[in-house]
Structure 1
Amino acid sequence: MLDRLKALRTRPYLVALLLGLAAQTLFAFHLDRPSRIMFDEVHYVPAAQALLDLEGPRNVEHPLVGKELIGAGIVLFGDNPIGWRAFSSFAGTATVLGAFAFLWLLLGSMRAALVGAVLTALNQSVYVQARTAMLDVFLGAFLLWAMVLMLWAMRGTPRQVRRRWVGAAVLLGLAVGTKWAAIPYVALAGLAFLVIRVKRPARWPGLGIVVGLLILGTVSIATYLLTFLPAFFYERDPLTLAGLIPLQQEMYALQTQVLAKHTYQSDWWSWPLMLRPIWYFYEWDAGAQRGVLLIGNPVIMWGGLVAVLACLWAGSREKAHRPLALAFLWIASLAIYVVIPKSIGFYYYYHLSAIFLCLALAAAFHHFDRGRGKGREEWFLFAALAMFVYFYPILAASALPNDQGFTHWTWFNSWR
């Protein structure tokens, strides 16, 4: 099937346009369901509204970028479910396109890029987050596109390289300005640049190691600090330059405080196994019982673990550096939550790792297929699509037959 798209192989921009339209249509269809605030929207929608009114600090534990984007949706589309979630849907589409661009640049294969992008759209984490006014979908989009620009900066004239590198640093700053969970990725980006630049000096022509690291650090930090600009105009407790650093200390204290136990809390090691998904919504709404369950696509989430092992094998036995790098990226994304000082965790923290699984799957299929076009990816995509369709009613807040309708999809007691 994918091999029949030969005419599009040399037209990635056209393919990206079609892919983006399809993804946005998928994410935006019935975006107003449910018609009420769900799960952590209770924190971020009021914070975005307060930010628009410049009334004063709210939801201080997180930076402002995600709430600024939610607020932008309210300005454009109104203070309603579509307005709350509009920019989340755009970020979901950007994530799918980011997966496509990243794999196209990394592997040079239209087939692999399409496989990774479609799997990203179907992994269910991206779908649910793209229809929820929370922060993680913005975090994923900014980080993925920072990775794209870092790859793109490996080629071109020295001027193009530097411009793209600055763009990557800006996106990393915006990612940190969305959620502090991006900070380790800035460090990983610097480490990856250092290692690759030492081993392959021809990469990033005209960009020295010291200059590259300085740009990455200074531009990302400056971008992050600039995202606080609206806070200087609050009517109550406006931010001052002298208060900028103490604010960071307050944010750190709030993010590292010991929280009370939560019904949906889970440990990092349980996320790859999907032991504790989260009901974002399960109520009577718009004349029917409806639910939104944040749960990964079993075909992708569990199949992706096999792909990570395959990428590790390819790297260790065949010196396949690209699959190995993606395996390490997934491992690092999970290891971050082993070391950061959070008292409790939730399955939605796995959002980035779920995206990286899709990249690893595409890379594994690409590597082991070796251009023979055996169609394994197509069967896997079909299975992933079938599973997405199966779970769709409780991903999209569709009408359920009764208040016990959820039992059809909760295979295990821990999913209830």
Structure 2
Amino acid sequence: MKQRSLACLLPLILLIVGFTTHFIFIWHPNQVVFDEAHYGKAVNGYLTGKYFFTGHPPLGPQLITLGAWLGGYRDLGFSFDHIGQIFPNSTFIALRIMPALAGALLPLVIYFFLLNLGLPRILAFTGGLLLSFDNALIVESHNAFITSFVIFFGFLGLTFFVKARQHNYSWFFLLLSGVSLGLSLAAEWTAAGFFIFVGLLFLKDSLLLKKLFRLSSIALIFIATVFLTYFTVFQIHFALLPKSGTGDAFMTPAFRQGKLNPFEKFMELNMTSYQTNLIGIKSTHPYSSKWYTWPLMTRPIFYWSGMDEKIYLMGNPALWWGSSLAAVIFICLFFIKGWRKNSTASLLLLGYVSAYAPFIPVPRILFLYHYFAPLIFAVMMLIFLINKIPRPYKTYVLVFYTIAVILSFLYFSPLTYGLKLNDREYQQRVWFETWR
């Protein structure tokens, strides 16, 4: 097949597969799932204009609200009181549109990211395809949650940044990167790892290329772009919430009375969110997990339960454990074989460490979904290792592993989409006591 035809066909396949796995059964369950109880209230706040407080930057609820509004959701009296609360009609589906869209497009972003790193097209395609079948990524974007926005915009920003580096720090791609990463940060502060990746690359290029002044100037403009994007999201937040609401209790009298200018309001909300997150250090949760357990997926999260149906945030074991093993092998070979001179290998290791390391010192409770960015880099490491296998064994490994991931996805999909399982079928899928 001609390269041009392949270049069009492979992204199309990723779109079809991504939209299928992320949008199928999006109407089920017709009940509030886990943090939908939290973000649903935020949607009602935006649609009524009543001020609320979530403790996170506002882009996630804004995008969920956009999808809800476009999809005709108008159930402003629905309280989102508890998990399992039944929606009164089918318009609730609109709440899940934007997270699912971000999740469906992520494999395509990873495809282009791997292409920009210089990996062969078919391997870049495989990287995106494998992520299309990760059960955890699907669950998180299948419901009205915000993590899919963090990951989508974060890797989109990295893709544009790598492209900018390849074109002598092209302003066009650099600005696109700044906007994308600003949106990622405006969804949740866990996007910090993406900025460590970019910052270290800026520093490396400044020192090695001996263009400290030029790259320092570029870095300042990049930072300004990120800040302006982040700041603008907050101004939209304030503009959409002119009325008094439940969030007033978290703010100062000057804020509530409209005596602060836009920047002062921006600073107060960010500081209040930070302080609220500090308070969360003392909180506990039965499904929280330690950062060092994530690669082994020892503690999935129980999201929802029906009569004979359950939803777990549980990764695809073939993909999680396979990529974890690949990450260990990759890191060992990186130093043993001197891959430090290999730019692709260096970027992948930098990405994995940048995405993972920020969680190590975090004192508050963490969850399995915080591993999503490191997971994606681990999958890329796996693809890199497969590329090192001599032909024809490379093809055999690629096909066999892809089939294994798809079969694993299908086996665990009832716990992803909340499909019916009898007790025996459920027990067969809960392999460890910590998975319950």
> Does the pair score TM above 0.5?
yes
Query: Does 2:132 match 1:112?
Result: no
> Counterparts of 1:371 and 1:201 in 2: how far apart (Å)?
43
Deviations 1:159-214, CA, capped at 9 Å, x for gaps = xx111101101111101100011134223312112214533579xxx993112211
Query: Does 2:198 match 1:189?
Result: yes
> Counterparts of 2:214 and 2:7 in 1: how far apart (Å)?
30
Letter in 2 for 1:407: Q
Compute the displacement of 1:309 (Å): 2.4
Paired residue for 1:338? 360
Query: Bigger CA drift: 373-382 or 207-216?
Result: 207-216
Deviations 1:303-362, CA, capped at 9 Å, x for gaps = 11221123223432142331243133223322211123x411111111222222221211
Query: Bigger CA drift: 310-319 or 121-130?
Result: 310-319
Paired residue for 2:317? 298
* Native 8 Å contact 2:137 2:372 kept in 1: yes
Paired residue for 2:86? none
Letter in 1 for 2:377: F
Compute the displacement of 1:412 (Å): 0.6
Query: Does 2:56 match 1:62?
Result: yes
Compute the displacement of 1:293 (Å): 0.9
> Counterparts of 1:311 and 1:201 in 2: how far apart (Å)?
30
> Counterparts of 1:58 and 1:180 in 2: how far apart (Å)?
16
> Counterparts of 2:234 and 2:392 in 1: how far apart (Å)?
49
Paired residue for 1:211? 217
> Counterparts of 1:370 and 1:207 in 2: how far apart (Å)?
46
Paired residue for 1:329? 351
Q: 2:268 aligns with which of 230, 243, 246?
A: 246
> Counterparts of 1:369 and 1:87 in 2: how far apart (Å)?
41
Partner-residue secondary structure (3-state), 1:154: helix
Letter in 2 for 1:92: G
Compute the displacement of 1:406 (Å): 2.6
* Native 8 Å contact 1:31 1:81 kept in 2: no
Query: Does 2:311 match 1:311?
Result: no
Paired residue for 1:178? 187
> Counterparts of 2:377 and 2:429 in 1: how far apart (Å)?
25
Compute the displacement of 1:157 (Å): 7.6
Paired residue for 2:295? 272
Paired residue for 1:260? 283
Paired residue for 1:224? 230
Give the 3 Å change call, closer, same or farther, for CA 370–245 of structure 1 in structure 2. farther
Paired residue for 2:85? none
Q: 1:376 aligns with which of 397, 407, 431?
A: 397
Give the 3 Å change call, closer, same or farther, for CA 321–372 of structure 1 in structure 2. farther
Compute the displacement of 1:106 (Å): 0.7
Residues 66-145 of structure 1: matches in 2 within 5 Å?
A: 66-79=60-73, 80-145=91-156
* Native 8 Å contact 2:206 2:216 kept in 1: no
Partner-residue secondary structure (3-state), 2:142: coil
Paired residue for 1:28? 23
Give the 3 Å change call, closer, same or farther, for CA 108–208 of structure 1 in structure 2. farther
Give the 3 Å change call, closer, same or farther, for CA 207–366 of structure 1 in structure 2. farther
Residues 368-407 of structure 1: matches in 2 within 5 Å?
A: 368-369=389-390, 373-401=394-422, 405-407=425-427
Partner-residue secondary structure (3-state), 1:339: coil
TM-score by length of 1: 0.90
Q: 1:46 aligns with which of 20, 41, 44?
A: 41
Gaps of 5+ in 1: 1-5
Corresponding pairs, count? 399
Query: Does 2:433 match 1:413?
Result: yes
* Native 8 Å contact 1:147 1:168 kept in 2: yes
* Native 8 Å contact 1:162 1:207 kept in 2: no
> Counterparts of 2:213 and 2:406 in 1: how far apart (Å)?
43
Paired residue for 1:3? none
> Counterparts of 2:181 and 2:101 in 1: how far apart (Å)?
18
> Counterparts of 1:166 and 1:197 in 2: how far apart (Å)?
19
Partner-residue secondary structure (3-state), 2:303: strand
Compute the displacement of 1:414 (Å): 0.5
* Native 8 Å contact 1:312 1:327 kept in 2: yes
Percentage of identical aligned residues: 24
Give the 3 Å change call, closer, same or farther, for CA 112–273 of structure 1 in structure 2. same
> Counterparts of 2:375 and 2:50 in 1: how far apart (Å)?
37
